[in-house]
A and B are shown apart, each in its own frame.
Chain A
């Protein structure tokens, strides 16, 4: 076993003043959940950093779990040693021998927060560098682009030696900053929007509009599968399935064809807003990206947005499709999203929807019918399910097949 712990550096948490403890506590819980497969590992979280004591668990495997946790800026597998110079030098050399391969260059990076330590940073550099150079043949120093950067950190309680710093996911700890409702269609964009919002610490719940028999069980299953991916962040993901068939039929009766899309979106937003209120959320999240489709022109957004004053978070608004797809690939939702089933937006799409709808016109069309009653009915008929990450799914009846 090369390392006995992993040092975790916080991201922006450190700037959060009095709320800091809350953030750290949230992060600790998220880390604990992510490491549930490693029963021996234990977590020590203090104000500046977190240590995961491995107690025999594999540092690579544990590290891999940390990579996706929001709120972690970076982490380093490390070895704790007593602040005895000779002991430290031997430990540094032993660790170096295990990771160094012939031909590789190195440097020492020293950090000293314990100013009472006998050597200063320059002293540590030369003492440790010299010790390693004397013991390994043909080794060269490269201070600009070393293959191995050996970090030696002297703190009050002990010294820590490590050889690599791995970038974390950044952001703020998941579910540390309030709740928002994500309009989840099943396409490529909305899961990405949800993910990016979670990155900033929001707890996100999904809202999906389901129109049987125009859309199939598999379209719904697709959204559940996407929810499973999003559930990896928090350990669970609440999904609201709204029965939408009746409303869509009413829209098609009441509104001229080229305006049905605008009205459909307005009603979806009203329903989402009502669900949000019920769930105690404070925002609505969408996967809209300027100009991508007819409903996402500035004119459309103006006409649609009018139904609510709730903040609408649109993380993708300025992104290109390719950028969005790249993120969808990294969070593993892309291949689910491209499964070819009709959703309620694609089934009822008019041949030529208005790309520049007028607010007054759509208000006028909607004024001849009372949608409020249908909206209430849809909200009441909404099914709320809590989806677990695929990796934690245990009670599936077909599981014994696998």
Chain B
């Protein structure tokens, strides 16, 4: 099996599963319980928090544990919007965000907020200048994805953060789900107030995530309840999941040091090989792109057909983002970049992780070439 859909989800590391199992079995206490068993669970949760904070270079008190990327994104944008609605009701985001941002924005619009969607240029980049042009006195929140999940473009977060320094009313949220462990980001230097990560995108477990909330930033909670996580996120803490996530993050960052070159080489090989095929157009630009995502279209073929064709050869890739692929919708990032609809409907995403190799890249190129040839013949007939 060659698994090349790591932006949809990753396989949990064996060591991560071991931790999850051990904590679930031996330290099952509720961290809020006063007795020793509760105390142990609380200590583990604190240790997990400190470790995540240290790996992200922020303070432990700035890490809030959640159930994943969707919750973190929702908590960030709705929480910041609701907590600051007296200061203004204008929000800026891009038109190439993940569905959990996009649909949260739609909901905020129905609650009376005004949302401006900034389009990327033809290469898929949202410029700091474009954001700056939309900023107003009543702008309270700007939310931009770091690494786009569909084409892998790296947005100029640092530059946008620099622009926002002159707008003290506007908070800055960054969706870092695809970037974490792959494309480093200095939260403090970039002037970020809120930042989302998700455990299962870096070999942790589904149902685990975190939101960085910079010291001093107040959110209106989504959940009411027992006031866990500094009253920002009620619900009994997923201690085993968070311990597992902190381990997954450590291992992924270590993997990056060891194997970034290997993964980059595999990606270069893939890009070179696939771009030779004349029916294929590559959408991921060659600069300012994440090292693990490649998006391309196969002319005249439906993306889903192509996914199944590769599946027959035991190679797993994706249409657009996993969250929207079931709806058979064209990639909205590509549409926003100005790619024609039929091309956007035939878009394929390959996403790597550190264990992928050059050999796998070679096999994939061969399989893609064969599938294109075979399917084109069928379609022509």
- Residues on A close to B: CB < 8 A? 216-218, 221, 225, 329, 332, 334-335, 390-391, 398, 400-402
Contacts and interface: CB of A to CB of B under 8 A. Distances in A.
B19 interface: yes
Contact of B36 (A217, A225, A391): A217
Given A334-B61, A398-B47, A400-B19, 16 more contacts: A216-B34, A216-B39, A217-B36, A217-B39, A218-B42, A221-B39, A221-B43, A329-B215, A332-B59, A335-B61, A390-B50, A391-B54, A401-B22, A402-B19, A402-B47, A402-B247
Interface residues of B, number: 23
B44 interface: yes
A216 B46 CA distance: 18
Contacts of B43: 221
Contacts of B50: 390
A324 B139 CA distance: 34
A402 B246 CA distance: 6
B39 A218 contact: yes
Contacts of A217: 36, 39
Nearest to B162: A101
Nearest to B48: A402
Nearest to B62: A335
B368 interface: no
Nearest to A396: B47
Nearest to A218: B39
B142 interface: no
Contacts of B44: 398, 401
10 contacts: A216-B34, A216-B39, A217-B39, A218-B39, A329-B215, A335-B61, A400-B19, A401-B23, A402-B51, A402-B250
B152 to A, nearest CB: 26
A401 B19 contact: yes
Contacts of B8: none
Nearest to B247: A402
B62 to A, nearest CB: 10
Nearest to A334: B61
Contact of B243 (A225, A329, A401): A401
Interface string B211-224: 00001000000000
A217 B36 CA distance: 8
Interface in B288-331: none
B33 to A, nearest CB: 10
Q: Which of A225, A332, A398 has the most CB of B within 10 A?
A: A398
Contacts of A332: 59-61
A390 B49 CA distance: 12
A301 B48 CA distance: 42
Nearest to A391: B54
Nearest to B243: A401
A332 B34 CA distance: 24
Interface in B46-97: 46-48, 50-51, 54, 59-61
B381 to A, nearest CB: 57
Nearest to A390: B50
Nearest to A216: B34
Interface in B162-200: none
A399 B166 CA distance: 44
Nearest to A339: B42
Contacts of B51: 402
B195 to A, nearest CB: 19
A390 B59 CA distance: 13
Contacts of A216: 34, 39
A401 B247 contact: yes
Interface string B237-265: 00000010011001000000000000000
Contacts of B59: 332
Contacts of B48: 402
A173 B166 CA distance: 38
Contacts of B39: 216-218, 221
B147 to A, nearest CB: 22
A402 B215 CA distance: 25
A18 B60 CA distance: 42
Nearest to B50: A390
Nearest to B20: A401
A238 B19 CA distance: 32
A57 B313 CA distance: 45
B60 A335 contact: yes
B160 to A, nearest CB: 15
Contacts of B247: 401-402
Contacts of B60: 332, 335
A397 B331 CA distance: 48
Contacts of A398: 44, 47
Q: Which of A217, A329, A334, A401 has the most CB of B within 10 A?
A: A401
A390 B54 CA distance: 11
A217 B19 CA distance: 25
Contacts of B250: 402
A196 B54 CA distance: 24
A218 B250 CA distance: 27
B22 to A, nearest CB: 6
A402 B45 CA distance: 11
A398 B246 CA distance: 13
Contacts of B61: 332, 334-335
A16 to B, nearest CB: 34
A105 to B, nearest CB: 16
A218 B22 CA distance: 22
A334 B19 CA distance: 29
Nearest to B42: A218
Interface in B21-35: 22-23, 34
B48 to A, nearest CB: 7
A402 B36 contact: no
A334 B60 CA distance: 11
Contacts of B46: 225
Nearest to A61: B57
Contacts of A402: 19, 47-48, 51, 243, 246-247, 250
A83 to B, nearest CB: 35
A402 B43 CA distance: 13
Contacts of A221: 39, 43
B238 to A, nearest CB: 14
A69 to B, nearest CB: 18
A217 B34 CA distance: 10
Contacts of A391: 54
A334 B59 CA distance: 12
Contacts of B19: 400-402
Nearest to B40: A398
Q: Which of A221, A332, A402 has the most CB of B within 10 A?
A: A402
Nearest to B23: A401
Contacts of B243: 401-402
A8 to B, nearest CB: 22
A21 B360 CA distance: 60
B40 to A, nearest CB: 9
A272 B246 CA distance: 40
A119 B247 CA distance: 57
Contacts of A390: 50
A400 B15 CA distance: 9
